[in-house]
């Protein structure tokens, strides 16, 4: 199964900073002249005027199309039709992970170049050469892999600072998993999402992301509460977006994301952000690994303070939901998923026990450290 090839992949250019959106046209014109912009009405309301005048000044013609909630197969196919009908040579996904993933998928299918413009730092999707495809209800369907990463990833730190803090919290959950999963993939020397064995580079970038988050998260979250761009926020955006993206792709995914993918099948978790569900995967992975008590305590304390869920209660489940937890574990252990990158064999039985174990484990650590008790999550339907 594994090959002696090591590989690292990355976007062509990464641009980040306060006011970076004012440079988008200048970078895009190096890539194409006729753009399809994918942005939902809310995002377009925030950036539309600026982008329209900037593209005009740079001689880029464009059409903007709206976007629903998830990167579904139908949403991707509709974008491909737009591209082929309009002589488009570059597609730009603006917004959250799903709009960006849909743009990447459509760009690949239509054979044109693509650009990611995240307006929040809520996932590490923007830099990668893969997309996650979901049903209309938000259930995981598949990963789609592309032969290259975006030509450009551009993120304006002021937009991240202006967005609700919950997006940044979710991005921290997604990015914390990166080191735990890269470490496991490195231990097992399994294949990464980039299609080779882990490199020193990918694994080190995953660890750097983890370290930067621990150093900067609380200051960055406070800055965003007042819509301020500070060096701590810049550091956190880079960790959540670039380093976590490079780290997961060239360092490898393992149990945390596989458990996330399984959790999307439980209706109780619908409405939660990707990074919130990933955090449950991370704590469950630590339990599966038999991680040292101190490491588990640190993780529970840090993620509780950040505002991430680390109990079943906080994602709408309980240890009595045997059928749901069994279904989640079965889905997480599908032969195609990355749980098999763990350095030991993982079965659905082990995953069910790990998921059940986190409830009492996290509750007792939180109580011991004087932190808030978990609050039950209710899915919005």
CB of 58 to Zn ion, least distance (A): 32
Site string for Zn ion, 115-154 (x = CB under 5 A): ----------------------------------------
Q: Give the residue closest to Zn ion by C-beta.
A: 174
CA gap 26, 30 in Å, rounded = 7
- Of 67-75, 89-97, 171-179, 369-377: span binding Zn ion (CB under 5 A): 171-179
Whether the CA torsion 350, 356, 359, 360 is positive or negative: it is negative
* 371 phi/psi in degrees, rounded to 5: -95, 165
CB of 174 to Zn ion, least distance (A): 4
How many residues appear in the chain? Answer: 381
Pick 174 or 238: Cβ nearer Zn ion:
174
Catalytic residue positions, numbered: 174, 257, 260, 274
**Distance in angstroms between the alpha carbons of the first and the last residue of the chain:** 43
Residue 351 and residue 339 in contact, taking contact as beta carbons nearer than 8 Å: yes
| Burial call 296-328: b when 16+ CB within 10 Å, e when fewer | bbebbbbbbebbbbbbbbbbbbebebeebbebb
Q: Is residue 314 close enough to count as binding Zn ion by CB under 5 A?
A: no
Pick 175 or 220: Cβ nearer Zn ion:
175
- Of 55-63, 100-108, 163-171, 174-182: span binding Zn ion (CB under 5 A): 174-182
- Of 26-34, 36-44, 167-175, 344-352: span binding Zn ion (CB under 5 A): 167-175
Pick 101 or 174: Cβ nearer Zn ion:
174
Give the H or E element holding residue 328: helix 322-332
Q: Compute the CA torsion angle 380, 77, 125, 250 (nearest 10 deg).
A: 140
Characterise 334 by phi-psi region: left (phi > 0), alpha (psi -120 to 50), beta (else): beta
- Of 48-56, 75-83, 104-112, 172-180: span binding Zn ion (CB under 5 A): 172-180
Pick 196 or 247: Cβ nearer Zn ion:
247
- Of 51-59, 70-78, 166-174, 319-327: span binding Zn ion (CB under 5 A): 166-174
Pick 54 or 249: Cβ nearer Zn ion:
249
Pick 54 or 101: Cβ nearer Zn ion:
101
Q: Is residue 249 close enough to count as binding Zn ion by CB under 5 A?
A: no
CB of 244 to Zn ion, least distance (A): 8
CB of 253 to Zn ion, least distance (A): 8
CA gap 93, 90 in Å, rounded = 10
CB of 281 to Zn ion, least distance (A): 9
Pick 259 or 333: Cβ nearer Zn ion:
259
Pick 279 or 313: Cβ nearer Zn ion:
279
| Of 92, 116, 259, 255, nearest in space to 182 by CA | 255
- Of 31-39, 169-177, 353-361, 371-379: span binding Zn ion (CB under 5 A): 169-177
Q: Which residues contact 31 (CB under 8 A, 6 or more apart)?
A: 90, 113, 115, 151, 152
Distance between alpha carbon 346 and the CA centroid of its chain, in Å? 23
DSSP E strands, the chain: 14-17, 34-38, 61-65, 90-95, 113-118, 130-134, 140-145, 152-156
Characterise 266 by phi-psi region: left (phi > 0), alpha (psi -120 to 50), beta (else): beta
CB of 245 to Zn ion, least distance (A): 9
Residue 172 and residue 308 in contact, taking contact as beta carbons nearer than 8 Å: yes
CA gap 265, 268 in Å, rounded = 9
Structure tokens at 78: 């509709």
CB of 210 to Zn ion, least distance (A): 14
Q: Is residue 174 close enough to count as binding Zn ion by CB under 5 A?
A: yes
CB of 175 to Zn ion, least distance (A): 8
Count residues binding Zn ion (CB under 5 A). 1
Instruction: Please report, as ranges, the residues that interact with Zn ion according to CB under 5 A.
Output: 174
């Amino acid at each position: 199964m594994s090959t002696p090839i090591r590989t690292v992949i990355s976007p062509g250019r990464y641009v980040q900073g306060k006011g970076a959106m004012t440079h988008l046209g200048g970078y895009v014109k190096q890539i194409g002249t006729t753009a399809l912009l994918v942005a939902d009405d809310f995002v377009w309301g925030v950036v539309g005027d600026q982008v329209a005048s900037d593209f005009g000044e740079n001689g880029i013609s464009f059409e903007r199309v709206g976007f629903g909630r998830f990167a579904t197969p139908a949403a991707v196919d509709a974008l491909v039709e737009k591209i082929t009908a309009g002589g488009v040579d570059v597609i730009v996904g603006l917004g959250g992970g799903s709009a960006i993933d849909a743009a990447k998928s459509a760009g690949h299918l239509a054979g044109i170049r693509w650009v990611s413009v995240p307006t929040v730092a809520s996932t590490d999707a923007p830099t990668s050469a893969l997309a996650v495809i979901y049903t209309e209800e938000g259930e995981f369907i598949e990963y789609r892999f592309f032969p290259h990463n975006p030509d450009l990833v551009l993120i304006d730190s002021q937009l991240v600072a202006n967005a609700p803090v919950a997006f940044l919290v979710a991005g921290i959950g997604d990015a914390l998993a990166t080191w735990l999963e890269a470490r496991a993939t490195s231990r097992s020397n399994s294949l990464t999402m980039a299609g080779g064995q882990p490199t020193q580079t990918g694994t080190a970038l995953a660890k750097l992301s983890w370290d930067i988050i621990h150093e900067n998260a609380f200051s960055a979250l406070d800055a965003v509460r007042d819509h301020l761009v500070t060096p701590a926020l810049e550091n956190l955006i880079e960790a959540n977006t670039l380093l976590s993206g490079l780290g997961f792709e060239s360092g490898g995914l393992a149990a945390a994301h596989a458990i996330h993918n399984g959790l999307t099948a439980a209706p109780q978790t619908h409405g939660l952000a990707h990074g919130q569900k990933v955090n449950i995967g991370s704590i469950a992975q630590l339990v599966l690994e038999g991680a040292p008590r101190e490491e588990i305590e640190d993780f529970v304390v840090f993620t509780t303070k950040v505002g991430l869920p680390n109990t079943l209660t906080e994602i709408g489940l309980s240890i009595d939901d045997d059928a749901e937890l069994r279904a989640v574990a079965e889905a997480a252990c599908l032969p195609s998923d990355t749980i098999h990158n763990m350095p030991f064999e993982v079965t659905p039985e082990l995953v069910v026990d790990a998921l059940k174990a986190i409830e009492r484990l996290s509750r007792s650590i939180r109580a011991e450290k004087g932190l808030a008790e978990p609050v039950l999550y209710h899915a919005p339907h």
